[in-house]
Copies of this chain bind each other. A is one copy, B any other.
């Protein structure tokens, strides 16, 4: 068992810098496209055998040091009783967005082992196959809330902020319900066998720091506190969160994910004994190999004083990335960080 990733999460010295890649099981891989060609995205998410297959695809090919459960952050929101659709080219759609207390009251706090049994089964099956640690995950409450309020993806999050600013009680009640759902969901993942848990706050970066502090931070902090019993390392990734770094650390996360907009060395200087994960611009996988290698070396060097560094991209790998470039990146990380 390769547990370099878990060592780095705990801030322990490692023989080399471990790496995994956000969305490493995904559309840039022809073998993923093949599986996906036969089923819808939601069918894929709900079929443990297929989830296992696509989760495993990149592990040997890329040579990464961790696997991440194949699923979607919106799965537990559907389990709350919402209608979730994925439209090609448009992304996720919630046709009945939450606009008032009555809408919110209709949502349940689902039993994760009942309503998302397929996720827990995927985790159990994966643990029988994997020689690297398995990361479970969920969306952070703020990010989940934006989808429920906007009815899908958004560019400017007008409806979300409108609710925050004009109906704060409703907003906080929704956050509370999502938070309780997310805690149970992640606790169930831990029990099913996940060995680390990542909380994706994809849209945290649209908030002013004072709003992040009021409307998002307390809920993430609550979840992480409630996960302490699991003993698992928790990774919190507040995308576009350069100005939220100190508050993100205050959540008690063991590892902070960093997007590519911040110099990783600058981030390390601002943190205490929290490990960091990141942060190559996913698109720089397009660089000629010698320049890609140099850039990876710069990140490893910039992160040399970190209390644990897990190499990753600063965001999910783009669907048009040549897989061999991702494979090369993994090799460079291992080669350049080898002690």
Whole-angstrom CA separation of A18 from B187 in the bound complex: 52
CB of A211 within 8 A of chain B? yes
Smallest beta-carbon distance A246→chain B, Å: 10
Across the interface, which residues of B come within 8 angstroms of A240, CB to CB? 205, 240, 261
Q: 12 new A-B pairs (CB below 8 Å) besides A161-B281, A243-B263?
A: A157-B283, A161-B283, A162-B283, A166-B288, A208-B260, A208-B284, A209-B262, A210-B295, A211-B284, A240-B240, A242-B243, A243-B261
CB of A42 within 8 A of chain B? no
Of the listed residues A165, A206, A263, A320, the one surrounded by the most CB atoms of chain B closer than 10 A to its CB is A165
**Interchain CB contact (< 8 A) of A298 among B155, B210, B260, B320:** B210
What residues of chain A have their CB less than 8 Å away from a CB belonging to chain B? 155-158, 161-162, 165-166, 205-211, 240, 242-243, 260-263, 266, 281, 283-284, 286-288, 291, 295, 298, 314, 318, 320
A-B contact pairs, 18 of them (CB 8 A): A156-B318, A157-B283, A161-B281, A161-B284, A161-B286, A162-B286, A165-B291, A166-B286, A166-B287, A166-B288, A205-B261, A206-B261, A208-B261, A208-B284, A208-B314, A209-B261, A209-B262, A243-B262
Residue of B nearest to A314 (CB): B208
Take A210-B298, A283-B165 as given contacts and tell me if A320 and B158 are in contact as well, using a CB distance cutoff of 8 Å: yes
Whole-angstrom CA separation of A261 from B247 in the bound complex: 13
Are A208 and B281 in contact, CB atoms less than 8 angstroms apart?
Answer: yes
Across the interface, which residues of B come within 8 angstroms of A262, CB to CB? 209, 243
Take A158-B320, A261-B208 as given contacts and tell me if A284 and B165 are in contact as well, using a CB distance cutoff of 8 Å: yes
Are A165 and B320 in contact, CB atoms less than 8 angstroms apart?
Answer: no
Take A158-B320, A205-B261, A287-B165 as given contacts and tell me if A281 and B243 are in contact as well, using a CB distance cutoff of 8 Å: no
**Interchain CB contact (< 8 A) of A283 among B158, B209, B287:** B158
Across the interface, which residues of B come within 8 angstroms of A206, CB to CB? 261
Across the interface, which residues of B come within 8 angstroms of A157, CB to CB? 283
Smallest CB-CB A-B distances: 5 pairs: A161-B283, A165-B286, A208-B260, A165-B287, A208-B281
Across the interface, which residues of B come within 8 angstroms of A298, CB to CB? 210
Across the interface, which residues of B come within 8 angstroms of A283, CB to CB? 156-158, 161-162, 165
Whole-angstrom CA separation of A261 from B207 in the bound complex: 6
**Interchain CB contact (< 8 A) of A243 among B161, B162, B266:** B266
Across the interface, which residues of B come within 8 angstroms of A211, CB to CB? 281, 284
Smallest beta-carbon distance A214→chain B, Å: 11
